Every structure is written in structure tokens, then in C-alpha cells.
Amino acid sequence: MPEASCFEPLPDGVEPSAELMAEIIDTIYKSITVSGMGEDDPGITFGGAGDPLLRVDDLCEAVRIMRERRHGVPVRVMTNGLFDAEVAVKLAECGVNQVSVLLASSDPTQYQALMDPQDGKGLGDVCNFVVSLAELGVNVECTAVKAPGVQVDAVQRLAMSLGATEFKAREYFE
């Protein structure tokens, strides 16, 4: 972690509590300037190594705590989207504004090969998750990686048909 961040990595196997996540957010906001009505507020993004929705209850509690301290802060979550509709409901209820979902392919077989999901999950589960979020009023951004053989235009059409409001294609790195 860069020294300028003022943070140190947690020891292996240690996960931050909801309160600690909210404290980290406070620390970051104390070090930046948000002017006017907050139009330049960078917001908070939960993402990184591992899917943050594996700990959705802790994430939502951190958002609730943060919302008590800082009203109106935009909150975004990055996920692979392999979750049930009940997770979408939790995100909407705790005040997440945007969810960025990795939609690796519009082809179910290619999706399985690229993502190698576990527990019998697949493209249909991601699609249902996007639809659930959109129906709950959460802004959904879908992203695809320009991997060899991925028809990005088809992925974008699928994303928008499911209710996504934004789509981004990212470069592929081997």
C-alpha cells in the first residue's frame, strides 16, 4: 500500500469490521476537500481483491454507519454479480447508489470458461442480479473485458437490455 495512503494492510486472514470500514472512510474524508453541494465528491467504492459482496452484511452496516456521519456520499460496489436477488435487496436498502457488475460474456459457455464460477452459478445468475438491482432503482454499470473472442458489442446489448444504465469495456491483459 502506498505510504501516502496512511493505511497499512491488515494481517492475513483478518477482515475489517463494519465500524473499522466506516472509520477508514472518515479518515479519507478528513483528508480531502469536497466543495459546494458535493458535486466533486469522489464517493466510496467497495472493491478490490475478492468480492466485497461475500461480506454483504458487514458492507451494508458500514454504509449505514457512514450514512449517519456523511449524508449524500455516493457509494459504489464492484462485483462479479454471482449473487441472489436478496443481496440486491440488501444493497438497495442500505443505500448503495451504484453497482458495477462484471459481465464477462453474453455467451453462457464462454462466460463459464472465462469466470469459472462455483456452486453451479453462471451467466443467468449475473443477469438476474443485474435485473434485480435495476428494478430496485440501483444504478447498474456493467463492464466487460476485451478478452479474445468476447463480442463486446453483444455484451453491451445484453447489459442494456437487463437494465444497466452504463457500460464500459476494459482492456485485456494477459
Tens of pLDDT, residues 65-81: 988 887 778 899 999 99
Residue 115, C-alpha cell as written in the block: 469466470
* Interior angle at CA 152, CA 75 and CA 113, nearest 5: 90
Share of the chain above pLDDT 70, in %: 91
pLDDT surpassing 60 at residue 89: yes
Model confidence at 5, pLDDT cuts 50, 70, 90, reads: low
First to last CA, the chain: 23
Q: Provide φ and ψ at 133, rounded to 5°.
A: -60, -50
Dihedral of alpha carbons 146, 148, 153, 154, sign: negative
pLDDT surpassing 50 at residue 146: yes
CA–CA separation, 126 vs 104, rounded Å?
10
Dihedral of alpha carbons 36, 40, 54, 168, sign: positive
